[in-house]
Amino acid sequence: MSDNARLIDPSFWRQPLAERMQEFIPIREAGPFASASFDNPMTGQTEHFHVVTRYAELVDISKRPKEFCSGKGAVAIPDLPEAALDFFGSFINMDDPRHARQRAIVGRSFTPRQLQSVLDSVDTICTEVIDGFCEAGAVDLVEVLSQPFPLLVICDMMGIPRSEFDTVLKATNVILGGGDPEFMGDGDPMLAMFEAGMSLTNLMNELVEERRAHPTDDLTSQLVHNDLGEELLAPNEIAPFFILLAVAGNDTTRTAISHGVHLLSQFPDQRRLWQDDLEAMTPSAVEEIVRVASPVTFMRRTATTDVTISGHDFTEGDKVVLLYGVANRDPRAFDDPEQFDVRRSPNLHVGFGGPGPHFCLGAHLARRELAVAFRQILTRLPDLELTGDPVPLDAQGIPLVGGIKRLPVRFTPTAPIA
């Protein structure tokens, strides 16, 4: 076992967020990098990796994609077969020139201007979702809001019919479930992952054929048609992109909403500040939720050459794991970093990834979803309060997204708007 064996202990990642981050303080203070190891079930060997715990070093490595590549498994600490990398990560798991090409094609549809109709629909979808439970008075907030809201936005954006919502939800829970038995079942976890991926692939392939024959104004149509002679994604590239969007674009926002509600219960003074000046506070409060919650736990990079960072010598092939939430609490970069402060400014967090070619393409949409969700929560359900502790994802290792499975709340019932 490594000198940081706790980092691969599933019980460590099931702790409440604040307790887990307290354990990281001495690790981060000991140095910007910590070593750890794990037994790789695919190879039967013990493999080593380095975790990056400080802000400056994480930013530095993020800016150096040629020396620290993504193409060996950005979303997994073990190396994965190339087919699995493309299947589950799309261009997150790629390096240039493949990465630059696919991201540029997709990026044409992810500018604020191109996304405007989607951004406009976010309010409507959130209203619809809250209308569905606002008369109940007591609910599991994950089930009724955190989970369906961002996924409905993604499905509507892609043109996925509402009748397929449960199919997409079940598959994304498996892919980002961290091996949680509640989502994976009793079978082989890798087989369950591939079955979930195939379910989304088949769904998307059918939709692509439909949109080729009958284009509409959704994102899928944009990805298979354009009038400008610009390059399109190849047929085998569209489904992996949808898996990336359905998983990363949904689960991260879902987790941020759940953690955000929990944070407001832990810091009632910050909740009052936000509610008392909703419009002015919302932009900075959203950024602070992303900083403190840091829904994406990590991305992995691999050293492509011998390189020295902050006095540490990396060797070609070294696995380097960027811990975004730990860097987002680095006191060298943030004043009083354990304090949740809705007025924090500046707030140059790395909750959407470090600067560089892999910065989150959907950050603009995620910010909009969080702003809308919390405006509606704080106005329509102003006395919402927790009635129990958050139930964390039962991850079997380091989870890619530090999810909350259940969050019991109560509030004064109100009437639907629509």
pLDDT given for residue 210 in this prediction: 94
Rg over CA atoms, the chain: 21
249 closest CA partner among 405, 362, 105, 87: 362
Averaged pLDDT, groups of 10, the chain, 418 residues long: 74 94 96 92 86 98 97 87 70 90 84 79 96 98 97 92 93 84 81 88 92 90 74 82 81 94 98 97 98 96 97 97 98 98 98 94 92 98 97 89 94 93
Which pairs with CB-CB distance under 8 Å and at least 24 residues apart come from 92-96? 92/244, 92/248, 92/299, 92/358, 94/70, 95/65, 95/69, 95/70, 95/71, 96/65, 96/357
Return the exposure string of 82-103: e unless at least 16 CB atoms fall within 10 Å of the residue's CB, then b. eebbbbbbbbbbbbeeebeebb
CA dist list (Å): 296 to 159, 237, 248, 284: 26, 23, 9, 19
Integer Cα distance of 110 and 214 in angstroms: 22
Instruction: Classify strands 298-303 and 319-323 as parallel, antiparallel or unpaired.
Output: antiparallel
Integer Cα distance of 208 and 202 in angstroms: 10
pLDDT given for residue 1 in this prediction: 31
At 134, phi and psi to the nearest 5? -65, -15
CA dist list (Å): 279 to 22, 168, 395, 406: 32, 33, 37, 29
Contact 328, 334 (CB under 8 A): yes
pLDDT given for residue 177 in this prediction: 83
Contacting residues for 125 by C-beta, under 8 A, at least 6 apart: 149, 152, 153, 156
Tokens in use for 261? 């509600």
- DSSP conformational letter for 143: I
271 closest CA partner among 139, 126, 140, 378: 378
Predicted model pTM: 0.94
Integer Cα distance of 255 and 146 in angstroms: 7
Contact 154, 404 (CB under 8 A): no
Helix axes 17-30 and 235-266, enclosed angle (nearest 10) = 100
Q: Got the DSSP string for 375-398? A: HHHHHHSTT-EESS--EE---SSS
Instruction: Sketch out the chain's domains with CATH numbers.
Output: 5-410 (1.10.630.10)
